[in-house]
Amino acid sequence: MNTSITKLGAGLVAATMALSVPAFAQNTMVGGAEMLPERNIVENAANSADHTTLVAAVQAAGLAETLSGPGPFTVFAPTDAAFAKLPEGTVEDLLMPENLQTLQTILTCHVVPTEAFSPAVGQMVQQGGGTAALETVGGCTLTASIDPTTNALQITDENGNVATVNIPDVDQSNGVIHVIDTVLLPAS
């Protein structure tokens, strides 16, 4: 009986460690470029062919220096295809100087001021009974959940828009990026 308890305890310890420590067997490819963990969020995103709109928006909003800083940050990074799902002309309007504050708010609603790899977020979801609230730098509250069909991490904004994390846990020198398929917006 003691052997069974010991095996069960060892299994629980191993499962807990697997949830709390990401495994990085190789560098992640995003947008055709290798994401190097010694580079910061902006340096890596700038190399991704799938994030040209996001990088242009971050630069236009004056946030490149901040997101190049020490962090740590968790960035839910919408792809160019995610931005393309917005109504026609939205991105162009947001990039206009008179819309700087709105652009900054939208972008900072994709940034959580901590390093949160998907196992940690998954554990928060489990402890929260199926959801976890994530407070962003921009003052938004995002809701994390796990899709029961695909087991994918999902992030819901304050308007009910749901983004699926397509590429989780892209390690950065100042945090982590999770690539998402939908732009998250602050409450309207």
The residue ranges of every structural domain in the chain are: 41-180
Maximum CA pair distance of the chain?
Answer: 70
List pLDDT tens digits, range 82-124. 999 999 999 999 999 999 999 999 999 999 999 999 999 999 9
Is the Cβ–Cβ distance between 157 and 142 less than 8 Å? Answer: yes
Q: What is the pLDDT of residue 27?
A: 62
Q: What is the pLDDT of residue 47?
A: 87
Cα angle, residue 75 at apex, residues 147 and 188 outer, rounded to 5°: 75
- In this structure, the dihedral spanned by the alpha carbons of residues 11, 168, 153 and 84, taken in order and rounded to 10 degrees, is -170
pTM of full prediction above 0.75: yes
Domain made up of 41-180: CATH architecture = Roll (2.30)
pLDDT at position 33, please?
A: 77
Beta bridge partners of 142: 134
Say what the pLDDT of residue 34 is. Answer: 80
Q: Note the pLDDT of residue 3.
A: 37
Given a cut of 50, the residues of the chain with pLDDT beneath it are 1-26
